[in-house]
Amino acid sequence: MKDTDSDDVMVYRLGSGCDLADIEEGNIYQGKVQGFANFGMFVQINDRIKGLVHKTNMKGEHKERDSILVRVRQVRPNGNIDLEEVIIQVYQVQNVERKSTTVRIADLSQKIGRTVAIEGEIAQIKQTSGPTIFTIVDETGTQNAAAFVEAGVRAYPEAEMGHMVKVIGEVMTRNGQLQIEVDALSVLTDDEAVEVKARIEKALDARAEPEDIPLLVKSDVMENLRPEMRKIAKIIRKAVFTSQPIILRHHADADGICSAVAIEQAVISLIKESGGDFDADYYLFKRAPSKAPFYEIEDITRDLDFALKDHIRFGQKMPLILLTDNGSTEEDEPAYKVASVYDIELVVIDHHHPDATIDKYVRAHVNPYHVGGDFGITAGMLGTEVARLINPGVEPIIRHLPAVAGVGDRSEAPERALFLSLISDQYSESDCKDIALALDYEQFWLRFNDGREIVKDILNITGNTERHKKLVRLLVDGANTMIEDQMNASMPHVVPRVLENEAHLFLLDVEIHAHKFTFPPPGKTSGEVHDRLCKQNAGKPVVTIGFGPDFAVLRSRGVLMNIPVMVRELRNEIPGGGISGGGHLVVGSIKFVEGMRDVVLEALIKKIADAPLQKYH
């Protein structure tokens, strides 16, 4: 090397992260001979970029891997680079490092056909029979990147889920979806990873923050619940933005379905907006009804089983579990304990009387009892407000769900009327009643299935109002016929009693005086019996108990009971009763062992007889 001075020519050394965008025509680069063709030789400028020196532009004899200097004559529109060899003795070398800034995932649709770099976290790694699909999440969206080494062979095995990576590749469309064809994928070093992760976290946190929108109706209780509703909405939005699967478990009645469907609509549309696979809304979101009015061990066992298999088989993250119209009582605790072994995140939207014992298991819990309200603010009302916070765009298709839920759950809170008047131009109260009954009836036949699309028609979410009306009419007629049959069989066997507090108690053995394993099931049968008895005994306090061999269902009007507390007391007072249960204050159920039925029922009735009556004016 000779001495250098300020007039010397500049030669560039292209860093490994650089791509075509970093190449400038006219500049001289260090290169390495890669191979020969009869029309010239190929020269690599870095691991990913090579150009052609036509034989007319060659200055000497070379062999493979020789270092040479080349000037870029032209970068053609198709990405081919024309080079010429240069021979100079005196020059300065300057490194070119990733001048190409990384592209944000949200901007990729404008980069089709271009080679880009993205940085983000690996949210999923799926090995197909062809390429390995990495799902990358940055602060703006989700993108699949396909890396291929050999059919069915895992590409970049050093890159694992949760790693921060830089991906360089061409943006393509595949089956109408954007995809990056990976040229290079590198796991960021510790320092880089920390910096990128912090940047993405901060931006995601801001992006997950729900919009500040007013409630659909004026409600002090719900206003007080807004901070917690926002918290849940943010957790859910973040799960969507980071491709974390969501499992939504809900009570299998009209209220529970309304709350869950409202959130389902918000989440699904958000998943679609934020990119990813065309079927991401199916594998990243699952809605499942729980048969019991709580999260059973059976439920968590199924959820956990599927989550772990998806984790291993499809490289998915462990899910966020959201419970609605469910989840706030100590009956949920055994399931929560199972979830906590796997560090599964849980959030709850419920209006059952909450037990503080579950607080340590859940990250957030919206419940009117926490702010001085009660079950009259139903899960469907709360779920719809949370859904609007998750994605305000879905409001037009879900704004009638709180009214259906309020009617379905027999809410007596002032909010019921407010939600009904909100939609009175489209749905009457009796329409809402029909929809709620249709939901209950259809869920009976759906059993453990969510019936995503059928339920959308029942709730008139698909927009095919003609079909919605036909379907609801059919289901309501079917339900009413079966309820009528059941009442004809059951009502003559109701046994009345007047208690010491002058409450009118009615007992029905649903095991022998009702059709079994069909609609309406024992709980609803008891409810229908109760409704008829309330009409027959207008103005009087009425309690109805429908019992089977090892369970009883309670409904009451005008008697101030606290069923969860009564169940707990009975459990302590009757050893060997095998007692469990709960529910709302005045609507609930109790389980016991068959051999202790009479003892338990008599003790229960005694407690009802001690309960104060509601004052009528």
**Which parts of this chain interact with Mn ion (CB under 5 A)?**
255, 325, 379, 409
Least spacing, CB of residue 256 vs Mn ion, in Å: 6
CA 403/CA 385 separation, integer angstroms: 12
Q: Between 255 and 331, whose beta carbon lies closer to Mn ion?
A: 255
Three-class SS of residue 203?
helix
Q: Between 276 and 522, whose beta carbon lies closer to Mn ion?
A: 522
Q: Between 136 and 379, whose beta carbon lies closer to Mn ion?
A: 379
CA 526/CA 535 separation, integer angstroms: 14
Q: Between 85 and 415, whose beta carbon lies closer to Mn ion?
A: 415
Q: Between 116 and 258, whose beta carbon lies closer to Mn ion?
A: 258
Closest to 385 in 3D by CA, of 354, 351, 433, 429 = 351
Q: Between 251 and 513, whose beta carbon lies closer to Mn ion?
A: 251
Q: Between 254 and 267, whose beta carbon lies closer to Mn ion?
A: 254
Residues 482/518, Cβ–Cβ less than 8 Å: yes
Query: What type of residue sits at position 537?
Result: N
Least spacing, CB of residue 468 vs Mn ion, in Å: 23
Task: Name the residue with the smallest CB distance to Mn ion.
Answer: 255
Least spacing, CB of residue 480 vs Mn ion, in Å: 22
Q: Provide φ and ψ at 613, rounded to 5°.
A: -95, 150
Residue 46: burial class (beta carbons within 10 Å; 0-12, 13-18, 19+): buried
Least spacing, CB of residue 234 vs Mn ion, in Å: 24
Torsion of CA 110, 113, 119, 120, to 10 degrees: 80
Least spacing, CB of residue 325 vs Mn ion, in Å: 4
Q: Between 270 and 432, whose beta carbon lies closer to Mn ion?
A: 432
Q: Read off the tokens for 434.
A: 């029909």
Residues 415/376, Cβ–Cβ less than 8 Å: yes
State the greatest distance between any 2 C-alpha atoms of the chain, in Å, as a whole number.
114
Least spacing, CB of residue 342 vs Mn ion, in Å: 28
Least spacing, CB of residue 293 vs Mn ion, in Å: 8
Least spacing, CB of residue 228 vs Mn ion, in Å: 18
Q: Is the peptide bond before 522 cis (omega within 30 degrees of 0)?
A: no
Is the four-CA dihedral 238, 243, 249, 250 of positive or negative sign? positive
CA 468/CA 202 separation, integer angstroms: 44
Torsion of CA 562, 565, 567, 571, to 10 degrees: -160
